[in-house]
Amino acid sequence: MTRYVAKEDGVFYGDGREEECWEYVQNKPDIRGKPEAVLEAIDEYGRTKKYLMNIGFEKGKIVRDVIAEEKPVNMVELGGYCGYSAISFAAEMKKYSKDKKVHYYSLEKSAIFGRIIEAMAKLAGLDDIVKVIVGDSADSLRRLQTAFDVKKIDVLFLDHHKPLYAPDLRLCETLRLIAPGSVIVADNVIYPGNPPYLEYVRSSCEQKRQRAAAPEDQGDEYADGRWDLVYESKLIESFEPTGEEDGVEISRIIGYYQNKNS
């Protein structure tokens, strides 16, 4: 597969390329209502025009395999960008939905990107599944409960600001948005990397409790939340669309800590 053009030094997003990509995609013939064609058009832009920070085909397949296995009723992503992941994963959910209604919530901080996600989803014929929530990730997670009545997240996809991975996961714990049976998928854990997040999801409940109780500052990822959720986590190595080695961390909540005293 032809790779995306290399990431530029300095500014590589938010400089108008996302709007340019949307214009490029929507002007393609015979594309409306065809998610695969929309994804190919986005990839074509990334291969021939400018770098786009999408998950890409290789890592996207890892997530689609999780969807095929779990068959989630709802999925939430933090960091929607141009809608590539929303289209790819919502289309996969639709394959397995049969008679049940499925929902894909794309939480995106940028209002500009949020509008592009909505437009891309509509073009792909997935606007009945994809709902965009614009705002800071923590505020948007709270809105899932208050405005959209989400009780539990089946699959959570993390692809936003890397230092927020662990704090936002802890917020989901605190809000009880994740529970046994929930699956968390985190992108970019090798490139550019996210050691605090990996340490968190790979630590035992007792290790997390001890870290939070330590006198030295341990960072926001250990500040609040719950300690009774047991994670089973593994890394699947893959590649960025540009060819750099990267990986996706898949963490399943498999139960409750049996000796909790919190």
> What is the pLDDT at residue 55?
98
Between 23 and 98, whose confidence is greater? 23
Report d(CA 242, CA 53) in Å as an integer. Answer: 9
- The predicted-structure confidence for 35-70, as pLDDT tens digits, reads as follows 999 999 999 999 999 999 999 999 999 999 999 999
> What is the pLDDT at residue 218?
56
Rounded to the nearest 5°, which phi and psi values hold at 225?
A: 120, -160
> What is the pLDDT at residue 212?
75
In the predicted structure, residue 262 carries a pLDDT above the cut 70: no
Report d(CA 43, CA 54) in Å as an integer. Answer: 9
In the predicted structure, residue 217 carries a pLDDT above the cut 60: no
Report d(CA 25, CA 48) in Å as an integer. Answer: 13
Distance of CA 260 to the CA centre of its chain: 30
Burial class (CB in 10 A: 0-12, 13-18, 19+), 29: exposed
Average pLDDT over residues 146-161: 97
Task: Name the nearest CA neighbour of 81 among 60, 103, 102.
Answer: 60
Token representation of residue 117 = 């996600």
> What is the pLDDT at residue 211?
80
Per-residue pLDDT band at 140 (split at 50, 70, 90): very high
Strand partners, 104: 75, 130
What fold characterizes domain 55-256?
Rossmann fold (3.40.50)
> What is the pLDDT at residue 259?
65
Report d(CA 217, CA 204) in Å as an integer. Answer: 19
